[in-house]
């Protein structure tokens, strides 16, 4: 034990001597070198502190994006209750949390029903009040149907958001006065993405198939810039056609493109032109009902209806001299 204490004391004395020697050497330096040394030590200290702080700062990742203000407020309140640090993206459209907690927080928030989304589906029908009028029930059903259709359209990869508006007229019971329903779809497409004619036709057919008596031609589809995606030509060519008819039109267009390329390639050279064909095929159908009476050749002599009635009896017919005298008994 005495030897150990003496060893520690010797090392302390040596350290103090080295420190005093270093201070003495620093004091003997010129003023300019002293300033440079102090600045260098300060920079090294700042770098070390910044690196230590950066290593302790968590890496943030996106928790949710493109959420409504109401859902954003509820999510922030839940994160504050969990004591989870969060921040917003520079654009303000996303909530960021520590990267290692993203999946856990999503599951915990999902158990609380967050985010609810700005759309209301058929869960609206679960809280029907007693004594609600038929008109209010119909309005709630229409809102729920619009919400479910919007959710289905938002599931497409190119669509960031969607709104569906249905115009369902009240049926009067008279076929002559009945009006067909119509629908409008507003799409918010992701930047750099677009929808082709087949996808727009698919959206129109999905909406038309979800509403009774709604033809696909009565469905209008526009994007967030107000561009009409389902034009009059598209409604006749795409929105009003099924998959088989669309495939047939595409085959016709491809066939004509190949024929044009075969004709022009020897003249101008392959790759020096571009051919494009738009086929407008009329798939309309007509139905004709005729009533013909045969086999009589002359039209004016045709028999439209005929009825034959016959009576027969197996008893012998009555005989004798008619009159009252023949009916009297003998005296």
- How many other CB atoms sit within 10 Å of the CB of residue 259? 12
Contact 92, 76 (CB under 8 A): no
Burial code (b: 16+ CB inside 10 Å, e: under 16) for 183-194 equals bbbbbebeeeee
Task: Tell how many helices (H) and how many strands (E) occur in the chain.
Answer: 8, 6
Mean pLDDT score of the chain: 77
Give the pLDDT band (50/70/90) at residue 236.
very low
Q: How far apart are CA 198 and CA 204, in angstroms?
A: 10
Distances (CA, A) of 32 to 28, 50, 291: 12, 27, 118
Distances (CA, A) of 28 to 35, 55, 300: 13, 39, 139
Give the pLDDT band (50/70/90) at residue 308.
confident
CATH topology of domain 60-111: Alpha-Beta Plaits (3.30.70)
pLDDT at 164 over 90: yes
Q: Using one digit for the tens of pLDDT, what is the confidence trace for 15-34?
A: 555 566 566 666 666 777 77
What are residue 188's DSSP bridge partners? 161
Q: Using one digit for the tens of pLDDT, what is the confidence trace for 133-149?
A: 888 888 888 888 998 89
Q: Using one digit for the tens of pLDDT, what is the confidence trace for 63-79?
A: 887 777 778 888 889 89
Contact 221, 203 (CB under 8 A): yes
Same fold, 60-111 and 122-171+179-241: no
Higher pLDDT pick, 195 / 18: 195
Q: Which of the listed CATH numbers 3.40.720.10, 3.30.300.30, 3.40.718.10, 3.40.50.720 matches domain 122-171+179-241?
A: 3.30.300.30
Contact 218, 255 (CB under 8 A): no
Percent of the chain residues past pLDDT 90, beyond the cut:
8
Contact 224, 183 (CB under 8 A): no
| Four-point Cα dihedral 69, 71, 74, 75, nearest 10 | -110
Higher pLDDT pick, 177 / 124: 124
Q: What are phi and psi of 146, to 5 degrees?
A: -65, -40
pLDDT at 277 over 60: yes
Contact 228, 220 (CB under 8 A): yes
Helix axes 134-154, 197-210, angle to 10 degrees: 150
Residue 236 DSSP class: I
* Antiparallel, parallel or unpaired: β 159-167 and 60-65: unpaired
Question: How confident is the model at residue 246, as a pLDDT?
Answer: 79
pLDDT at 14 over 60: no
* pLDDT (mean) for 151-160: 87
Q: How far apart are CA 150 and CA 164, in angstroms?
A: 6
* Antiparallel, parallel or unpaired: β 219-222 and 182-189: parallel
Q: Which of 44-58, 72-86, 95-109, 230-244 has the lowest mean pLDDT?
A: 230-244
Q: What are the residue boundaries of the structural domains of the chain, listed by start? A: 2-56, 60-111, 122-171+179-241
92: three-class secondary structure by DSSP: coil
Question: How confident is the model at residue 320, as a pLDDT?
Answer: 60
Query: 278: which residues sit within 8 A by CB, 6+ positions away?
Result: 253
Higher pLDDT pick, 53 / 109: 109
pLDDT at 45 over 50: yes
Q: Of the ranges 3-7, 39-43, 309-313, which is most confident?
A: 39-43
Contact 318, 286 (CB under 8 A): no
Give the pLDDT band (50/70/90) at residue 239.
very low
Question: How confident is the model at residue 8, as a pLDDT?
Answer: 52
Residue 317 DSSP class: P
């Amino acid at each position: 034990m005495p030897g150990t204490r003496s060893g520690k004391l010797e090392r302390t004395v040596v350290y103090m001597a080295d420190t005093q020697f270093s201070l003495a050497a620093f004091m003997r330096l010129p003023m300019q070198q002293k300033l440079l040394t102090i600045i260098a030590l300060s920079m090294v200290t700042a770098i070390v502190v910044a690196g230590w702080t950066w290593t302790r700062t968590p890496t943030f990742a996106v928790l949710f994006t493109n959420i409504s203000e109401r859902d954003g407020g509820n999510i922030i309140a839940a994160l504050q209750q969990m004591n989870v640090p969060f921040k917003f993206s520079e654009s303000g459209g996303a909530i960021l949390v520590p990267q290692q907690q993203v999946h856990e927080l999503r599951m915990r928030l999902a158990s609380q029903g967050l985010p609810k989304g700005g759309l209301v589906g058929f869960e609206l029908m679960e809280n029907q009040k007693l004594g609600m009028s038929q008109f209010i029930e119909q309005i709630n059903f229409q809102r729920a149907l619009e919400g479910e259709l919007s959710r289905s359209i938002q599931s497409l990869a190119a669509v960031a958001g969607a709104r569906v508006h249905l115009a369902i007229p009240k049926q009067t019971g008279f076929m002559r006065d009945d009006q067909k329903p119509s629908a409008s779809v507003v799409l918010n497409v992701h930047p750099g993405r677009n929808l082709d004619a087949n996808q727009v036709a698919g959206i129109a057919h999905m909406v038309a198939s979800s509403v009774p008596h709604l033809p696909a031609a009565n469905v209008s589809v526009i994007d967030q810039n107000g561009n009409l995606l389902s034009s009059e030509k598209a409604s006749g060519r795409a929105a009003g056609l099924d998959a088989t008819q669309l495939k047939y039109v595409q085959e016709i267009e491809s066939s004509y493109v190949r024929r044009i390329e075969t004709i022009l390639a020897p003249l101008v050279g392959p790759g020096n032109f571009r051919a494009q064909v738009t086929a407008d095929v009329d798939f309309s159908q007509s139905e004709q009902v005729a009533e013909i009476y045969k086999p009589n050749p002359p039209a004016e002599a045709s028999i439209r209806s005929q009825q034959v009635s016959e009576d027969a009896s197996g008893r012998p017919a009555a005989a004798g001299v008619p009159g009252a005298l023949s009916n009297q008994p003998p005296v």
